[in-house]
Structure 1
Amino acid sequence: MKHPNIVTFISSFQERGLLYIVMEYCDGGDLMKKIQMQRGKLFTEDKILFWFVQICLGLKHIHDRKILHRDIKAQNIFLAQGDLKVKLGDFGIAKRLNNTLELARSCVGTPYYLSPEICDNKPYNNKTDMWSLGCVLYELCTLRHPFEACGLRQLVVCICRGRYAPPPGHYSPRLRQLIGQLFKVPPRDRPSINTLLKLPLLQSCIKQHLNTQVLEEEFSHTVLHSDRENRRPPPGPQCRAPEKERPPREEIKDPHKVGLYNHGNIPAQQHPVSQQQQHQHQHHLHGDQQQHLLTPEPYQLVAAAREEYLRRRDDANRYKLRAEKQLGSRGLMVIGRWF
């Protein structure tokens, strides 16, 4: 994957039974180290948005290719060119989905950044990356984790409830509202990365980080599919062959009298039809009518299913009454023998 906001893979090699991966060097370290260096001094909102938009652009690149990162955290976001360029890295546990509706099931990630669906051991999709993205944004605003607890069990409870301390009030309402949208507990309520980048708060910053060519490539689609589908011409009027004009057909009132060859405005008597052809045509029509009669309508299927259900329920009730009578008679026999 080649993108300005993703750490570039250079090469890999094996030596003494170990696999070495050579990646792009980021001279600014990771984002967690940058947060720790602040020593309680909060970032400005402009600085936060400057970094956050670049993280979103890198995440959009992989989500458009149906790839889940599954371990988005401040330690996996790197700074280059001082702190002007932000790059998403460490795809060690990333997963590629077969389609946009597929759900992953394995429980992976760093505990502080786990989404509620992973904590509940439920299937998840790219919305789990959006939850982790919200954790990173919260850390940039507060310099601490949004969900903290003494143990893992308490941490899971806090995450599943989605309760966190509000960010500082000097940040704009739109930024604080953005954090709330990313921390929606139901995954369907969280915005996708493409929806997020359409917000006015972020759109004004996008052109600062991508040149015109990359910008057109990244925003000319939402999801990339297979090469076969990319080569397929888009459906439209230009793909259809021109249709020839045909004379209007005369309505057939009696198919048995007109026959099979009465097309257009040509009279029926100009097309001699043998008795054998008429017999085959009549047999074909009767066969279609019989097939149509044999095919049940939907309401007939529903009615038949209901009748079957009622019949089985009555049989079950009769069996129950018969069993209760037998048990009752046996109970009376036991009581009589006892006395």
Structure 2
Amino acid sequence: MPDLRDLLRTQAADLGFSICRFASAAEPWSAGERLAHFVEAGRHGDMGWMETTLERRSHPTSMWPGARTAIVLGMNYGPDEDPLPEMADRSAGYISVYARGDDYHEVIKGRLKTLAGQVAARLKADVKVFVDTAPLMEKPLAQRAGLGWQGKHTNLLSRDHGNWLFLGVILTAAEITPDSEETEHCGTCTACLDACPTNAFPAPFQLDARRCLSYLTIEHAGPWPVEFRPLTGSRIYGCDDCLAVCPWNKFAQGAREARFLAREASITPRLGDLASLDDGAFRALFPKSPIRRIGRDRFVRNVLYAIGNSGDAGLVGVASTLTSDASPLVRGAAVWALSRLLDGPAFAALRDDRQSGETDAEVLAEWAGSEA
């Protein structure tokens, strides 16, 4: 009989997965302790769910006591071209590579369920599937299974796929022989740490999410701390700096899954067009996209911070219009953008005109705190 693991790897490959490996889900690990220190230090920011699910998240068996084996799968989403030049372009918005196609949760979850059904039928054992939506630490499991290692930027890094792997996990009550764990291969390289625009890494292998542009553009719901707004550049959804500079990407390949390929709307979109989106147009522009999760107001907030960094006086009109937007989050971001684009007298005149009718305290604070 062929090895069970080889059969499952073949089935996984047929479903479009780039790699499939196995790890113990029951053995002790130190990942839970590291996560506890991360939360205790407040580095999770507004992501309160990390605190409320901390105990369940600390180990696979804390969430499911019957778990014995983790089948860990990776699906490549590598870009066709180096994204670094795009991030340097202040005239257009930058959207993270992972969000340029369909939402990976939807793509991967269905295929995991198909494979999990085959596992359950073959092994007569319970299974559960996970794609970054439940209290399970996928990256430590992926390292334990040998898919790669958590690099100094804390993301999973593969010698075969670079940084560009989506992860999915099937937990099963069956015992399957584990693969060898991957070791760390970053060496003395600090390219990812040096590239971070906001110095979000207090030390190698540590992240302070509160300073991370991916966290700020996606997870943070309110106005950003002012110190980070100029540092976002043109990044309007996610940030790929620490991923894109990694030397291991020389072995990476472009995505093979058609649903991960970038849509035209996500490649160097014009900031003025994005700022003008209402809720309906926002949803229509990004169908099946993870970008929809943050909603129009938070997205336009990000766009306005990028407009403030663009140096493009031609965007004053759209930013000025948005000082009357229904969302105070958008109005406040528009104020900041204008404070960067207008000279002192022009900004003061606009402030005197618009501030008198404002009632929201946060927006009034933006007017008062912004200086051209």
Shorter-chain TM range is: under 0.3
Q: TM-score, normalised by structure 1?
A: 0.21
Provide TM-score, normalisation by structure 2: 0.19
User: Which of structures 1 and 2 has the bigger CA Rg?
Assistant: 1
